[in-house]
Amino acid sequence: MYWAASGDELWVADSPLQLIALGCDGTLDMEALSVFLRIGFFLGDRTPFLGIRTLLPGSTLRWADGKVTCEGSELPAISASDCSDDELVDSYIDLFRESVSLRLPVGSEPFVPISGGRDSRMILLELLRQHGKGLRACTIVKGGVTSSPDSVIAGRVCAALDVPLVTIEGRQSFHDSMIRKNMITGLNSLEHTWIVPLWDAMATRATEVYDGFGAGVMSRSDLIEPNSIMLLKQRDWQEWSRVLANACATPSEEELGLLEFDGDLSPLLSDSWVDHLAEHVEPLIQMPNPIAEFSLRHWGGRSIVQSPLAMSRSVDRVHIPLADRQLMALMRGVPVERLIGNDLQTKALERISGDLSAIPFDNQLSTSTVRRRSSLVRSIGNRFKRSRFTRGSRWGLSSVGRGRRPGWMLIQLVQYLRLLELVRDQANANELIKSYGPGSRSESKARASLLWRQWQG
């Protein structure tokens, strides 16, 4: 939920774009956007718009005597665990199984989207143990089941478990998928373009879906390593911010250097974003696992959650068993130093997997097994360089030298920024929501596409 206050009015909606369409102020939050450019999501309750805030989980919004206050979104304090690794793994398995038992399917043939990662495999295994047959798995493919590690591994897992695997064609219009992702998520995340076909498929095929939520980052991430932890505890924000940015699915600093903004937008590329980041991370340092806290509250709570939220708009029940409060409390209490090279979730999964443990995860699969599709990325990058889409706006790219092409994430970022400029206008926001937002009507897409092309030119 999102809210905005103006004079004697309080506005609440399930998307910041709905608030813009209703007439709320579309002034950009430059501080929040400067962080978004580097890490691909917003911190705390911030959004792209200065006057619009997110209503965080557990919050209470009060409007009294013409004043609006928002309170109570903090997670409860947690103490450091002194349990042994074996005890922690046992507790992880027990709490996860209890979480699944509280979220067993109530309909027929629920879907479990499965990738090459740990979260979806763990959910599928436990649902089979508690619920039995009648499950369906699904995975995204682009031209064939060998097109990505996810689809290769999903096929192996489902064959071993005798679970029907539904393949979802991932070859949609790159342009339309980016726009629709941004409209559906309310411009709150740079990620998720690739998963739009899954959202579409679940909207027409599913009444019940189980989502993994990327919960593995609570015990396994590029930030759980000695240098990152040292920089964080030393409060070396400049260096830790670089480590964080490098770990995120965002353009590199070199690619960001290709961006050119008008004068009033130039602060977006300054180092001032580091101070804003520090404000949100500083309160977490005294907690047992500050990196897990950051991942849960900000990356998970503001970016990754957009996928199950997108599905919940059209699917009756979307379950996230790995985000169970007690399970998260267990992982929040594990001192971060104990997790260096010691992934408790993987240990728990290996313990319950049996023979399935021989099937690798996506980061362990030999690249020779997967047909690479880099030519597609190169093709999109070259077309993007030549298009008017990169010129004629306050958000654009400077000239790109011979042999240099914008990377995948930079293309998405520039498209995001130019769409952001467009939706600040109330009439444009209304038209684009009708065409590309949740429950959009296909017949109106032609009008929005024309509007988009006219604006580009």
Q: Is 27 helix (H, G, I), strand (E, B) or coil?
A: coil
Has residue 356 been placed in a domain? yes
What pLDDT, on a 0 to 100 scale, did the predictor assign at position 340?
A: 96
Query: pTM for this one?
Result: 0.88
* 203: CATH: 3.40.50.620
Has residue 355 been placed in a domain? yes
Quick one: CA dihedral 263, 453, 411, 197, positive or negative? positive
Tally of CB atoms within 10 A around 110: 21
Has residue 416 been placed in a domain? no
Joined tokens for residue 450? 């024309």
Joined tokens for residue 378? 């190169």
In the beta sheet, which residues pair with residue 70?
Answer: 61
What DSSP element (H or E) covers 37? Answer: helix 30-39
Has residue 268 been placed in a domain? no
Burial class of residue 177 (count of CB atoms within 10 Å of its CB; 0-12, 13-18, 19+) = buried
Alpha-carbon torsion angle 32, 34, 36, 39, nearest 10: -130
Q: What is the pLDDT along the chain (457 residues), one digit of tens a residue?
A: 999 998 788 999 999 999 999 999 999 999 999 999 999 999 999 999 999 999 998 889 888 887 888 887 778 889 999 999 999 999 999 999 999 999 999 977 899 999 999 999 999 999 999 999 899 999 999 766 666 788 899 999 999 999 999 999 887 777 888 888 999 999 999 999 999 999 999 999 999 999 998 888 899 889 999 999 999 999 999 999 999 999 998 999 888 888 877 767 778 888 889 999 999 999 999 999 999 999 999 999 999 999 999 999 999 999 999 999 999 999 999 999 999 999 999 999 999 998 888 899 876 655 444 444 444 444 444 444 444 444 445 555 544 444 456 688 888 898 899 899 889 888 888 888 888 776 664 445 555 555 555 545 4
What pLDDT, on a 0 to 100 scale, did the predictor assign at position 144?
A: 64
End-to-end CA distance of the chain: 34
The residues, ordered by sequence, that sit 6+ positions from 325 with a Cβ below 8 Å of its Cβ are none
Identity of the amino acid at 29: D
289, 339 in Cβ contact below 8 A?
yes
Q: Of the candidates 210, 213, 214, which has an alpha carbon nearest to the alpha carbon of residue 102?
A: 210
Has residue 227 been placed in a domain? no
- Helix/strand/coil (H/E/C) assignment for every residue in the chain: CEEEEECCEEEEECCHHHHHHCCCCCCECHHHHHHHHHHCECCCCCCCECCCEECCCCCEEEEECCEEEEECCCCCCCCCCCCCHHHHHHHHHHHHHHHHHCCCCCCCCCEEECCCCHHHHHHHHHHHHHHCCCCEEEEEECCCCCCCHHHHHHHHHHHHHCCCEEEEECCCCHHHHHHHHHHHCCCCECCCHHHHHHHHHHHHHCCEEECCCCHHHHCCCCCCCHHHHHHHHCCCHHHHHHHHHHHCCCCCHHHHCCEEECHHHHHHHCCCHHHHHHHHHHHHCCCCCHHHHHHHHHHHHHHHCHHHHHHHCCCCEEECHHHCHHHHHHHHCCCHHHHCCCCHHHHHHHHHHHHHHHCCCHHHCCHHHCCCCHHHHHHHHHHHHHCHHHCCCCEEECCCCCCCCCCHHHHHHHHHHHHHHHHCCHHHHHHHHHHHCCCCCHHHHHHHHHHHHHHHC
Query: How many domains is the chain partitioned into structurally?
Result: 1
∠ CA 251-252-255, nearest 5°, is 80
Task: Tell me which residue range forms the domain holding 356.
Answer: 85-219+288-369
What pLDDT, on a 0 to 100 scale, did the predictor assign at position 136?
A: 96
Identity of the amino acid at 219: S
Has residue 72 been placed in a domain? no
96, 122 in Cβ contact below 8 A?
yes
Has residue 318 been placed in a domain? yes
Has residue 100 been placed in a domain? yes
